[in-house]
Amino acid sequence: MKIKAIQDYYPEELSYCYGCGGLNERGHQIKSFWHGDETVSHFTPKEYHIAIPGYVYGGLIASLIDCHGTGTAALASYRTEGREPGTKPPFRFVTASLQVDYLKPTPLGIELELRGKVVELKGRKVISEITVSANGIITARGKVIAVQMPENLIKEK
Amino acid sequence: MKIKAIQDYYPEELSYCYGCGGLNERGHQIKSFWHGDETVSHFTPKEYHIAIPGYVYGGLIASLIDCHGTGTAALASYRTEGREPGTKPPFRFVTASLQVDYLKPTPLGIELELRGKVVELKGRKVISEITVSANGIITARGKVIAVQMPENLIKEK
């Protein structure tokens, strides 16, 4: 059985996000999973996701961090409540603040790995720190402040 | 005569950036101009640049801020040197750090306006603050630390 990503549990009408919505055919369809106490996501940029020749566009890196951050927030919230993703009510977060430090150019043409750690989970707010690695070398670091969406915006399946 | 954007002056091989490269047919092709002492850019997201229904994807907003920030850095550097864009050597910046605060949801389906202000220009580093507005209301604020690319990465036309 294939393990589902947290994004596969998002309510259908909230699954069109350009970064991580599984139903957005034009989008990046980022997938986030637990890996021990960290969250992980893999993504291979397209050749047109270029910044300068040979390197990945910083806006795409920000997008990956953004969506892996909200995915991490949802994963952590289910775990904190002792519930499995897919149980109700669903958790779906939006981004309040995003910080990205580009430590070195990220090479284009290979799979990138994102790793997330929750540094604060309090009420409706989850703060996570995310790294982006290429060939095992961290090229960018991000911090995402995610807040839970108001329930009235979530129509359950 | 149509006024050219700063991105139209980027060296050809540096004009493929997914965010602002005029030669990247798959990219956003963001254009930045002076407007008095501020810089301005307009962009209308596509319907698939969605976050949750009715609102713009935060990663796209981060991308717009990113490229308008590096464009602002280049515009300011020419002005500080009393040179016109297009004179040599060319200025081309990359992003060292990006901060975005999402103040409220940004409505999808209308043109967005970005405005930039330089808050620091020192050596090879330019810091700018960027706002994103929809219908005249600021929905996001960003800060971009841009650094000038090493000359050896720039092949002049």
The pLDDT tens digits for A78-124 are 999 999 998 998 999 999 999 999 999 999 999 999 999 999 999 99
Q: Which of B46, B57, B95 sits opposite A19 (nearest CB)?
A: B57
The pLDDT tens digits for B82-140 are 999 989 989 999 999 999 999 999 999 999 999 999 999 999 999 999 999 999 999 99
Which residues fall within 8 angstroms of residue B149, CB to CB, at 6 or more apart? A52, B14, B92, B93, B94
Report chain B residues whose CB lies below 8 A from the CB of A7: none
pTM of the model: 0.95
Q: Which of B17, B64, B105 sits opposite A51 (nearest CB)?
A: B17
The edge-to-edge listing of strands for the beta sheet with B137-148 is: A33-35, A38-43, A112-122, A125-134, A137-148, A93-102, B93-102, B137-148, B125-134, B112-122, B38-43, B33-35
B interface with A, Cβ–Cβ < 8 A, is: 13-14, 16-19, 21, 24-27, 46, 48-53, 57-60, 62-64, 66-67, 94-102, 105, 149, 153
What pLDDT, on a 0 to 100 scale, did the predictor assign at position B2?
Answer: 76
Q: Which of A7, A95, A147 to mutate to test the interface with B (most CBs of B within 10 A)?
A: A95
- Place A150 in a pLDDT band, splitting at 50, 70 and 90: confident
Write the DSSP string, A51-99: SSTTBB-HHHHHHHHHHHHHHHHHHHHHHHHT--BTBSSPP-EEEEEEE
The pLDDT tens digits for A29-68 are 999 999 999 999 999 999 999 999 999 999 999 999 999 9
State how far the Cα of A34 lies from the Cα of B89, in Å rounded to an integer: 48
- Place A3 in a pLDDT band, splitting at 50, 70 and 90: confident
Report chain A residues whose CB lies below 8 A from the CB of B22: none
Q: Which of A46, A50, A67 sits opposite B59 (nearest CB)?
A: A67
Write the DSSP string, B5-56: PGGGGS-GGG---TTT-TT-TTS-----EEETTEEEEEE---TT-BSSTTBB
Complex ipTM: 0.94
- Of the candidates A115, A58, A116, which has an alpha carbon nearest to the alpha carbon of residue B149? A58
Residue of chain A whose Cα is closest to the Cα of B15: A52
Report chain A residues whose CB lies below 8 A from the CB of B74: none
* DSSP code for A27: S
Residue type, B150: P
Q: Which of A53, A60, A98 sits opposite B58 (nearest CB)?
A: A98
> Are the beta carbons of B60 and B47 closer than 8 angstroms?
no
> Between chains, do A48 and B26 touch, taking CB under 8 Å as contact?
yes
